[in-house]
Structure 1
Amino acid sequence: MPSFIVTPIIYSQVQIVVLCAKNHQLQVRVRGGGHDFEGLSYVSDQPFVLIDLINLRNITVDAGNGTAWVQSGANLGELNYRIAEKSSEFAFPGGVWPTVGIGGFLGGGGYGSLTRKYGLGADSVIDYRFLNYESNVFDRVSVVGSEDIFWAVRGGTASSFGIVLEWQIKLVPVPKNVTVFAVTRTLAQNATWIFHQWQYVAPNIHRDLYIKAKITSIKTADGKEKTIQVSFESLFLGPVDRLLNIMEKSFPELDLVRKDCTEMSWVKSTLWFANAGFPNGESLELLLNRNAFQKFYFKAKSDFVQEPIPAEALDGIWKLFFELEAGEAQIEITPFGGKMDEFPESALPFPHRAGNLYMMLEGVQWDNKTSPEKQGKLLKWLERLHMYLTPFVSKNPRASYVNYNDLDLGVGSKTYDEASVWGNMYFKNNFKRLVQVKTEHDPHNFFRHDQSIPVFPEMSSL
């Protein structure tokens, strides 16, 4: 646990904490929204000070220029709310969980319901205010070499290089009203075939349309048995009539009908996605409540899929799900394609662009009443699911998403080759450049955690 927790209210206080930590041989960890799959921002095996940015969450929206400055302690819900205060025709390509902190979201290459239309959130970052290991604060153009760091922090784990105090982002246009739907299909409703077809449709459909999928097991209506349920949750940047026309032509298997769809403002859709099915009249003030949404214990892994999983292989997934109680496990699936196909792998540290149909999050969850034995069973089950998926996901390397950090991939970095085992999974060929930027700009490896970008002096001249 942290030796100290500091909640600065101005940037100079962050500078002072960093200097004091260096003088006292303490590591520094930074917490924004607190969404950290392995708890690396607030747990360590070394003495450390936690800088909690909760008081640094000012948001200044310039609707006239279509930009905003956002401090790293703000979360996505707050950002969406403040944008809507100024304009109903702008948005930001953020994630679907409002309490995620903007710093971690941008620093790890966060994605969301606008990714197929506009790319990652980090693609919209145009400037920053950054604190380095010497406790100096600068922006994108004020220091020689800052452009390398600017590239690295937008998806390369910003906390590996320093502390991004504030981000300038470019807002993106959205219609005044969008359309959402959430429909579910069970095995008895042909879920296997519908999901199999979804794999071909979702990454290639009109880029105004985002259809995510979620696989879980549920109790049957009589409560005596289990079945597989696939949920399809969607955002369409347009009216319901146009959506139905596209779906009828491109994805008739889902059999979407008008009563499944709801038109609403863009900002209300962000609240709807936080818990699909929120009433249309739910107060937008919920976006400002950092404690409004459920918290639970979980472990997750991630994969990228480049060829549709065969229908017969889906039956093996269903079989594994039937081993657990209903609701204990899920696979959440995010389609790519669209704008994502236009970026080369090296555009940002996040390399998983063209050629990837979708990304999967495989996870198990439990509560504080779950026994250690049951937790162990869930973790072993997750390993078996991950192993089963091996033939159907990306290879050489088997890629993972850094914001879904997974310490099972490896920790530490005595040599570059060792670090590359997990580094290449997250960043592919971009890992080498990240190591070079880190070695040049944080040579003493001050900002570090179990899977931070490592320092190797021999890499600086390559």
Structure 2
Amino acid sequence: MTMSRALVSLVFILSLSSCCLPSLSSATSDGFLQCLWENIPSGLIYTQGAINFTDVLVSSIRNPRLFTNTTVRPLVIVTPTDVSHVQAAVRCGRANGVHLRVRSGGHDYEGLSYRSVRADEVFGVVDLANLRSITVSADAAAGPMSTAWVDSGATLGELYYKIAKNNPEVAFSAGICPTIGVGGHFSGGGIGMMMRRFGLSIDNVIDASLVNADGDLLNRATMGEDLFWAIRGGGGESFGIVVSWKVSLVKVPSTVTAFNIVRSVDQGAIDVLSKWQDVGPTLPNDITIRVIVQGQQATFQSLYLGRCSDLVPVLSTFFPELGMTSGDCLEMTWLQSAVFFNTWNLNVPVESLLSRGTSLSTFTKNKSDYVRRAIPKEAWKSIFPWLTMNGAGMIILEPHGGFIGAVPAGATPYPHRSGVLYNIQYIALWPTGSDGSAATRWISNLYEFMGQYVSKNPREAYVNYRDLDIGQNVVVDDITTFDSGEVWGDKYFAGNFRRLAAVKAAVDPTDFFRNEQSIPPQSMATKSCHSG
């Protein structure tokens, strides 16, 4: 999709005027901190010298691999309780040459929401954990067409709980982990157990409130459709700080059905998995079956938006290889299913979704792929032994198709639509205190081995499973270079990357919002070269 003529003009105007903007490297950190203290209540500002600075920093760190003695810490953490505090932080940073990173739930797989890879970088963090209001529309009792406003600092668990407690037959399509922050999840797309029926999270976002690089608060009407397009899947920390989102809610039945069916290699797991590759993406949209492969077994985990009595004959017809029977069924409310898929335990109360607790006991490293042609059965016979090697973790396969495949690749920045069979997430885990060398070798070598079976040109990846191994930005004269961003950007966004870079150039030409994998501004010179 090409940019509008207005956006092209704006890129040109801003590229001419950017020389007149204050240099982001000229001001001091002292000036930045003084500005914050003058405009934000001091109790919401935590400098490195504060007694509780580390406690606040760690409060949303989900991967202790990214919190060590060598972690580059922020100059300051701002914990706004009002949108005006976010605006003030942006204006202070912009005026004093201090870039900001933004954290909602802390699940960024590379920790870029609260740390820098560059040892010499001076930056601040805006932690949105206190901005977590959820307002469900008064007509939500009617079910379809109801909406909710949710702040970026709220978690998916909090969102699910608030929606369902208002009406148990209303829900939202998003991910499994309840402690994920809404802001990061929506910014990257938002895959989950209902995406084949209702789409990704971003397919159901209808408005947003965003603080731009000038500190102005914009909504969909005032930010324009190009920027609104970019924030729904273009990755966090590139275009501004989205403080809240308006989403469309969906109607779900009073009873849904879940199951976990485990098959070992000796029980024919490879045959079942090989068949699943074709069946999973083509089943009726109300059925999602994902696969978790660990050791020598595969767990087929399903959500069906209906009762067991209707599910059994469908799977008997379309997927008899699975051998599913009514004895595998677990009927529950949709809210209970949100707990079940996170804990695999029906006895955990739904109130657990409200927990924002974290643990620093396990290190992880993640990578991702997309599969567009089914992997041959003989290849799976070579893949399964990888799950028994020293340091082996697991892989999770998420089926696409259904609603997702019917949406054009350019409708949102998330391009992995038509033709995608499933997504692969590779997960390596090791306990705190061990060096993790076996686990990191395992995931790196498995990823290299899988290259022959997954999408190519580009080898696609999911931005919410962020992976710095596939490329990092290079900053020249305080601006991220387009070419360095394109290396990883094509993998996350395919043909949508250049449009994202053009939007970036229009709304943030001085590259104020940036990290090691933020969208770079596309200069007019670069645009001309690529469009010639």
TM-score of the aligned structures, taking structure 1 as reference length = 0.93
Alignment correspondent of 2:512: 446
User: Contact between 2:361 and 2:431, CA under 8 Å: does it hold in 1?
Assistant: no
In the TM superposition, 1:289-300 aligns within 5 A as 289-291=355-357, 296-300=362-366
Find out whether 1:182 has 2:182 as its counterpart. Answer: no
Find out whether 1:401 has 2:465 as its counterpart. Answer: no
Between 333-342 and 380-389, report the one with greater CA deviation: 380-389
User: Contact between 2:390 and 2:438, CA under 8 Å: does it hold in 1?
Assistant: no
Specify the code of the residue in structure 1 equivalent to 2:516.
Answer: D
Alignment correspondent of 1:50: 125
Find out whether 1:323 has 2:389 as its counterpart. Answer: yes
Alignment correspondent of 1:238: 306
Alignment correspondent of 2:325: 257
Instruction: Quickly say closer, same or farther: Cα 1:282–1:363, change in 2 above 3 A.
Output: closer
- Secondary structure of the corresponding residue to residue 444 of structure 2: helix
CA distance, structure 2, for counterparts of residue 41 and residue 338 of structure 1: 32
Measured after TM superposition, the shift of residue 171 of structure 1 is 0.3
- Secondary structure of the corresponding residue to residue 391 of structure 1: coil
In the TM superposition, 1:301-380 aligns within 5 A as 301-324=367-390, 328-370=392-434, 372=435, 375-380=436-441
Find out whether 1:392 has 2:470 as its counterpart. Answer: no
Find out whether 1:90 has 2:142 as its counterpart. Answer: no
Q: Deviations over 1:199-221 (max 9, x none)?
A: 1110111110000001111xxxx
Measured after TM superposition, the shift of residue 412 of structure 1 is 1.3
Measured after TM superposition, the shift of residue 24 of structure 1 is 2.8
Alignment correspondent of 1:110: 190
Alignment correspondent of 2:148: 68
Measured after TM superposition, the shift of residue 400 of structure 1 is 0.5
Measured after TM superposition, the shift of residue 260 of structure 1 is 1.4
Specify the code of the residue in structure 2 equivalent to 1:48.
Answer: F
CA distance, structure 1, for counterparts of residue 237 and residue 115 of structure 2: 14
- Secondary structure of the corresponding residue to residue 364 of structure 1: strand
Measured after TM superposition, the shift of residue 292 of structure 1 is 6.9
CA distance, structure 2, for counterparts of residue 295 and residue 238 of structure 1: 38
Specify the code of the residue in structure 2 equivalent to 1:100.
Answer: I
Measured after TM superposition, the shift of residue 300 of structure 1 is 1.1
Please, what is the CA RMSD of the aligned residues? 1.5
Q: Deviations over 1:13-71 (max 9, x none)?
A: 11111112223322201110110100101111211111111110000001155100000
Alignment correspondent of 1:127: 207
Question: How many equivalent pairs are there?
Answer: 443
Between 310-319 and 413-422, report the one with greater CA deviation: 413-422
CA distance, structure 2, for counterparts of residue 457 and residue 295 of structure 1: 44
Specify the code of the residue in structure 1 equivalent to 2:426.
Answer: E
User: Contact between 1:152 and 1:158, CA under 8 Å: does it hold in 2?
Assistant: no
CA distance, structure 2, for counterparts of residue 304 and residue 295 of structure 1: 30
Specify the code of the residue in structure 2 equivalent to 1:52.
Answer: D
CA distance, structure 1, for counterparts of residue 443 and residue 122 of structure 2: 32
CA distance, structure 1, for counterparts of residue 466 and residue 348 of structure 2: 33
CA distance, structure 2, for counterparts of residue 381 and residue 271 of structure 1: 31
Measured after TM superposition, the shift of residue 282 of structure 1 is 2.5
| Structure showing greater Rg | 2
CA distance, structure 2, for counterparts of residue 331 and residue 260 of structure 1: 23
- Secondary structure of the corresponding residue to residue 78 of structure 1: helix
| Aligned partner of 1:29 among 85, 101, 110 | 101
User: Contact between 1:132 and 1:163, CA under 8 Å: does it hold in 2?
Assistant: yes
User: Contact between 2:361 and 2:432, CA under 8 Å: does it hold in 1?
Assistant: no
Specify the code of the residue in structure 2 equivalent to 1:42.
Answer: Y
Q: Deviations over 1:406-440 (max 9, x none)?
A: 11111114643332221111100100000000001
Percent identity reads 42
Measured after TM superposition, the shift of residue 301 of structure 1 is 0.8
Instruction: Quickly say closer, same or farther: Cα 1:266–1:195, change in 2 above 3 A.
Output: same
In the TM superposition, 1:272-283 aligns within 5 A as 272-276=340-344, 278-279=345-346, 281-283=347-349
Q: For structure 1, which runs of at least 5 residues remain unmatched after alignment? A: 218-227
In the TM superposition, 1:154-233 aligns within 5 A as 154-217=232-295, 228-233=296-301
CA distance, structure 2, for counterparts of residue 24 and residue 259 of structure 1: 64
Instruction: Quickly say closer, same or farther: Cα 1:81–1:215, change in 2 above 3 A.
Output: same
Specify the code of the residue in structure 2 equivalent to 1:268.
Answer: Q
User: Contact between 1:440 and 1:460, CA under 8 Å: does it hold in 2?
Assistant: no
User: Contact between 2:308 and 2:329, CA under 8 Å: does it hold in 1?
Assistant: yes
TM-score of the aligned structures, taking structure 2 as reference length = 0.81
Instruction: Quickly say closer, same or farther: Cα 1:291–1:128, change in 2 above 3 A.
Output: same
- Secondary structure of the corresponding residue to residue 142 of structure 1: helix
- Secondary structure of the corresponding residue to residue 37 of structure 1: coil
Q: Deviations over 1:346-377 (max 9, x none)?
A: 0000000010000000121111121x2xx122
Q: Deviations over 1:199-249 (max 9, x none)?
A: 1110111110000001111xxxxxxxxxx0101111000000111111111
Between 174-183 and 315-324, report the one with greater CA deviation: 315-324
CA distance, structure 2, for counterparts of residue 295 and residue 197 of structure 1: 37
CA distance, structure 2, for counterparts of residue 364 and residue 10 of structure 1: 38
User: Contact between 2:498 and 2:522, CA under 8 Å: does it hold in 1?
Assistant: no
Specify the code of the residue in structure 2 equivalent to 1:345.
Answer: A
User: Contact between 2:236 and 2:518, CA under 8 Å: does it hold in 1?
Assistant: no
User: Contact between 1:78 and 1:287, CA under 8 Å: does it hold in 2?
Assistant: yes
- Secondary structure of the corresponding residue to residue 222 of structure 2: coil
Specify the code of the residue in structure 2 equivalent to 1:85.
Answer: K
Specify the code of the residue in structure 1 equivalent to 2:512.
Answer: F
Specify the code of the residue in structure 1 equivalent to 2:87.
Answer: Q
Find out whether 1:16 has 2:88 as its counterpart. Answer: yes
CA distance, structure 1, for counterparts of residue 206 and residue 310 of structure 2: 33
Specify the code of the residue in structure 2 equivalent to 1:263.
Answer: E
- Secondary structure of the corresponding residue to residue 234 of structure 2: coil
Measured after TM superposition, the shift of residue 460 of structure 1 is 6.2
Measured after TM superposition, the shift of residue 254 of structure 1 is 1.1
Between 332-341 and 311-320, report the one with greater CA deviation: 311-320
CA distance, structure 1, for counterparts of residue 329 and residue 353 of structure 2: 22
CA distance, structure 2, for counterparts of residue 161 and residue 460 of structure 1: 19
Specify the code of the residue in structure 1 equivalent to 2:283.
Answer: I
Measured after TM superposition, the shift of residue 345 of structure 1 is 0.7
